[in-house]
Amino acid sequence: NNVKCNCQDLMQAPVGPDQKAYVKHLVAIFCFLAKKVMKKWSMTQNLTFREQLEGGIRYFDLRVSSKPGEPGHEIYFIHGLFGHKVRDGLNDINNFLTIHKKEVVLLDFNHHYAMSEEHHRYLIKMLKNVFGHKLCRIDVVEEITLNYLWDNRYQVLVFYHHPSAESCPVMWPGSKIPAPWANTTDATKLIQFLETTLGERAKYGSFHVSQAILTPHVKTIARGLVRGLRNYLVEKNLPTIMMWVEAQKPGVDGVNIITSDFVELVDFANTVIKLNNFLIQDRPGT
């Protein structure tokens, strides 16, 4: 039900265009040291796509970019530093789905950097080529049940937050999957934000992502320079976040999709999946 993409081999990766100018300047001066710090603060998962899928993760928050100056139209995952080629990640996901024909994933391409129209066409064509008939066509959200997906052999919903995909019937618009962002380092403020945005979510017509994620600011990174995102910010706040997750109910008035960083630190996926039991209990005759 969630998660940001895993960026591996980051020490060899160039700094991405999603970073502010002062960050690029620091890397240019202190290259290895700056990248070491960036790796600690840009990695949001330790697991590969396959490991996340095998662990129960079914939603991926994806940010992609070309490499400025590189010939061709290759696209890479990005989160501070460049990660793997998008094609490799998509193939890993498709291989899993080919084996597990009743599993469904949601791929949310919500940030695109240094991408021209040609890059977008290249990526959209890649998505079609890799997943083929597995791609779910845009339809009324309330009609997208598991039975509907299984009957049509659909296994992938792609959300593409860019006008380039507007005419494509298998690229869902970003408006169909809002993901409000708390932008805070404070777990209490995060929980308040999640509760508020859940209360304001549309009852019908779209999916909804609850980002149970703390976001480091410059001061946070400065204080926890060596320890990094996982050790300084995530681990100590996970119990508070997990208490909130465990108290949720799914459905029209509840949670839909929940995301978190470093999902392997706790039994995150199973905790979220078990929330579906409330839907079964609420059915007439159960």
In this prediction, residues 161-166 reach a mean pLDDT of: 97
3-state secondary structure of 119: helix
Q: Is residue 39 part of a domain?
A: no
- Which residues, 6+ apart, have CB-to-CB distance to 136 below 8 Å? 144, 149, 152, 154, 155, 156, 157, 170, 172
The answer, yes or no, to whether residue 22 has pLDDT greater than 90, is no
Share of the chain above pLDDT 70, in %: 73
Q: Is residue 67 part of a domain?
A: yes
The Cα 185–Cα 144 span in angstroms is 35
Share of the chain above pLDDT 90, in %: 59
Q: 27-36, 49-58, 210-219: which has the minimum mean pLDDT?
A: 27-36
In this prediction, residues 17-31 reach a mean pLDDT of: 45
Give the pLDDT of residue 285: 56
Give the pLDDT of residue 223: 45
Higher-scoring residue by pLDDT: 67, 11:
67
The answer, yes or no, to whether residue 208 has pLDDT greater than 90, is yes
Higher-scoring residue by pLDDT: 215, 54:
54
User: What rounded mean pLDDT belongs to the chain?
Assistant: 81
The answer, yes or no, to whether residue 50 has pLDDT greater than 80, is yes
pLDDT in tens, 133-144: 999 999 999 999
The answer, yes or no, to whether residue 43 has pLDDT greater than 50, is no
Q: Which of 176, 193, 216 is the last residue of a domain?
A: 176
99 and 147 assigned to the same domain: yes
CA atoms within 13 Å, Cβ hemisphere of 54: 8
Give the pLDDT of residue 188: 94
84 and 137 assigned to the same domain: yes
CA atoms within 13 Å, Cβ hemisphere of 70: 15
In this prediction, residues 12-28 reach a mean pLDDT of: 47
155 and 265 assigned to the same domain: no
Whether residue 140 contacts residue 189, with contact meaning beta carbons closer than 8 Å, is answered with: no
98 and 110 assigned to the same domain: yes
242 and 273 assigned to the same domain: yes
In this prediction, residues 86-113 reach a mean pLDDT of: 97
**Domain range for 58:** 44-176
Whether residue 171 contacts residue 160, with contact meaning beta carbons closer than 8 Å, is answered with: yes
Please report which confidence band the pLDDT of residue 216 belongs to, taking 50, 70 and 90 as the band edges: low
183 and 140 assigned to the same domain: no
Give the pLDDT of residue 164: 97
Whether residue 120 contacts residue 165, with contact meaning beta carbons closer than 8 Å, is answered with: yes
In this prediction, residues 182-209 reach a mean pLDDT of: 93
In this prediction, residues 117-128 reach a mean pLDDT of: 97
Q: How many domains is the chain partitioned into structurally? A: 2
Give the pLDDT of residue 84: 87
The answer, yes or no, to whether residue 27 has pLDDT greater than 70, is no
Q: Which of 176, 197, 214 is the last residue of a domain?
A: 176
CATH of the domain at 100: 3.20.20.190
Give the pLDDT of residue 236: 75
Higher-scoring residue by pLDDT: 203, 61:
61
Cα 15 from chain centroid (whole Å):
20
169 and 212 assigned to the same domain: no
